[in-house]
Structure 1
Amino acid sequence: MNITIYQNSINNELLKPLKTEYINRIKKYCNINIQNEIFSIQNKQYVIRISKKSNTISSIDFADKISSILTSGYSNIVFLTGDIISSHEDFEISVTKLKTSYEMEIIMLLEQIYRAFKINNNEVYHK
């Protein structure tokens, strides 16, 4: 399974170690990368828009969504953040209702992805 996060090209050096930490944790479960470029939708990609205008969902519901996507035949999950434009989106969520930077939103998304894998693998996750 592959996860790609498309972000605006914002790189806060203070948050870089935290971003790297979560990416390394997630790599135990799947391939993950973060891109700063516009992309084209490929077959077998499930596209999730991260939008502050959307509703938040619980960690359990997010884990269920990830599991459902994987059992539906998708091998790639794409997350769109910030102002990345796409002609196709399958689902839309918010990772927080707080007013945050896009970079902090990426950290929150990475934490939710990591938590989803822990939940789906019946592993302990501290709160």
Structure 2
Amino acid sequence: MNITILAVGKIKEGYLREGIKEYEKRLKPYCTLRIIEVEEERSQDEPGPAEKEKVLKREGERILGKVPRQGFKIALCIEGERFSSEGMASKIEELALRGISDITFIIGGSLGLSDEVKKVCDIKLSFSDFTLPHQLMRLLLLEQIYRWFKIIRGEPYHK
């Protein structure tokens, strides 16, 4: 299985980089992992609607320039569908059984994802109604991907 995480921005916090490295290491036996970062667009702390749209458009163009044509694409966004860990593991396993071996997860910047990016995705996935920092989301996603592979293989994982 080939997993790509396409994310806006670089990870700034050391503790997040360390956690990400740990899950990259843990995932090596389960998949080929690739993380692609696109530049985050600068904006005001409280952007107005026009500026927000401009930021989403520019980041969206950068993302769309990197989205693989092949495979299954999943947008992480608050309005997406929710799965349990077991449910998402079943979804990943189902994709593999259908011969889909390339899955791309897309994480937007601090303002989310543009509608254009969401339209090219096969599903939208929500982790919570909570607003979560996009940098933390990368670590949370990697932990869940690891958990999904452990579930698929019937291996124990701490709860």
TM score, norm. by length of structure 2: 0.73
2:144 counterpart of 1:105: no
Give the letter aligned to residue 53 of structure 1.
E
Counterpart in 2 of 1:11? 11
**Contact 1:41-1:88 within 8 A present in 2 as well:** no
- CA deviation after TM superposition for structure 1 residue 97, in Å: 2.5
* 1:91, distance to aligned residue in structure 2 (A): 1.0
**CA displacement at 1:26 relative to structure 2:** 1.0
Q: Tell me if structure 1 keeps the 8 A contact 2:5–2:104.
A: yes
Alignment map for 1:64-75 (pairs within 5 Å)? 64-75=90-101
Q: Look up the equivalent residue of 1:81 and give its one-letter code.
A: I
1:95 aligns with 2:122: no
- 2:96 corresponds to which letter in structure 1? L
- Asked if structure 1 preserves the Cα contact closer than 8 Å seen for 2:6 and 2:67, the reply is no
- Correspondence for 2:51: none
Q: What is residue 28 of structure 1 aligned with on the other side? A: 29
CA distance in 2, matches of 1:9, 1:56: 25
Q: How does 1:48-127 map to 2 (within 5 A)?
A: 48-82=74-108, 83=113, 86=117, 87-127=119-159
Matches of 1:96 and 1:111, distance apart in 2: 15
Per-residue Cα deviation, 1:31-62 (whole angstroms, up to 9, x for no partner): 0011013314323x100111112232100001
TM-score normalised by length of structure 1: 0.90
Determine which structure has greater relative contact order: mean sequence separation of CA pairs < 8 Å that are 6+ residues apart, divided by chain length: 1
My pick for the range that moved more, 109-118 or 75-84, is 75-84
Count of equivalent residues: 126
Residue type of the partner of 1:89? C
Aligned counterparts of 1:34 and 1:52: Cα–Cα separation in 2: 21
Q: Percent identity?
A: 33
3-state SS in 2 of match to 1:51: strand
Does residue 42 of the first structure (1) align with residue 69 of the second (2)? Answer: yes
Q: Write the distance in 2 (CA, Å) between the matches of 1:8 and 1:123.
A: 32
Shift of 1:81: 0.9
> Does the CA-based 8 Å contact 1:95-1:108 persist in structure 2?
no
The structure having more radius of gyration, on CA atoms, is 2
What stretches of structure 2 of length at least 5 have no aligned partner?
39-62
CA distance in 2 between counterparts of 1:96 and 1:112 reads 13
